C-alpha cells in the first residue's frame, strides 16, 4: 500500500504529510456573506476551497479569521457532505473542522477514507497535517461539532490485496 498505511485505529496518509497550511486559500461558492464585525465569512452552495493541493468541499462553510494587519484564517467549519481530497486520497464526513493554528482537520459523522482499493469507515477522524497521521474511531456524532454520541461504534474497512501467482 503505497500512500496509505493502515493499523487498527490509525492511518498514515502520505500525501497529507507536511501540508503547507500557510499557503494561500482559494475559494468558490454560490453565495458569500462577509460578517466583518464577527471576523468571519459565510460561504454557501457548492463551496470549494483549495490550498496547496488540498481540496475541501461542502454545502456550507464558515471561515473564522483575525485581522492582524491582514486577514489570517484561523478555522474553517464545514457541513453538508464534507469531502477532503489530496492526491488519490479522499476523506468524507458530515461535518469538517480545519484548525489552521493546530494544523488539524477533524471529520465527524459517517466518516470514510478511500485510497485506491483500500477503505476505512468510522465515526470520527482526526488528520494531523504535519505528520500525515490520522486517527479514526467509531464514535458517532449527531453532525454538530462538539456533540458526541456513544463510544460503542466500530471502525471497519477493506484492504486491497495484490494478485499473487
For 15-67, what is each residue's pLDDT tens digit? 567 788 889 999 999 999 999 999 999 999 999 999 999 999 999 999 999 98
164 in a domain, yes or no?
no
Phi, psi values for residue 101, rounded to 5°? -70, -40
Give exposure, 133-161, as e/b (b: 16+ Cβ within 10 Å).
Answer: bbebbbbbbeeeeeeebeeebebeeeeee
- In tens, the pLDDT along 114-149 reads 888 888 899 999 999 998 888 888 876 544 444 444
3-state class (DSSP) for residue 147:
coil
3-class DSSP state of 148: strand
Ramachandran class of 126: left when φ > 0, alpha when ψ lies in -120 to 50, beta otherwise:
beta
pLDDT at 158: 81
73 in a structural domain: yes
Q: Is residue 18 part of a domain?
A: yes
The parent domain of residue 61 ranges over 4-158
* Residue 59 lies inside a defined structural domain of this protein: yes
91: CATH: 2.60.450.10
CB-CB contact of 76 with 52 (8 Å): no
Give the number of domains in the chain.
1
Distance in angstroms (rounded) separating the CA atoms of residues 128 and 17: 8
48 domain residue, yes or no = yes
| pLDDT of the residue at 140 | 60
Within a domain: 165 = no
Neighbours of 14 (CB within 10 A): 16
Amino acid at each position: 500500500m503505497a500512500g496509505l498505511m493502515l493499523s487498527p485505529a490509525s492511518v498514515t496518509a502520505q500525501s497529507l504529510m507536511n501540508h503547507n497550511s500557510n499557503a494561500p486559500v482559494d475559494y468558490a461558492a454560490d453565495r458569500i456573506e462577509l460578517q466583518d464585525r464577527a471576523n468571519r465569512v459565510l460561504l454557501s452552495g457548492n463551496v470549494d476551497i483549495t490550498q496547496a493541493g488540498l481540496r475541501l468541499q461542502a454545502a456550507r462553510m464558515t471561515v473564522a479569521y483575525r485581522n492582524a494587519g491582514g486577514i489570517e484564517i484561523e478555522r474553517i467549519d464545514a457541513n453538508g457532505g464534507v469531502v477532503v481530497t489530496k492526491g488519490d486520497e479522499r476523506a468524507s464526513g458530515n461535518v469538517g473542522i480545519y484548525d489552521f493554528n493546530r494544523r488539524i482537520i477533524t471529520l465527524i459523522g459517517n466518516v470514510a477514507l478511500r485510497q485506491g482499493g483500500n477503505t476505512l469507515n468510522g465515526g470520527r477522524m482526526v488528520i494531523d497535517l504535519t505528520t500525515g497521521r490520522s486517527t479514526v474511531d467509531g464514535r458517532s456524532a449527531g453532525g454538530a461539532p462538539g456533540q458526541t454520541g456513544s463510544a460503542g461504534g466500530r471502525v471497519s474497512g477493506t484492504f486491497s490485496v495484490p494478485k499473487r501467482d
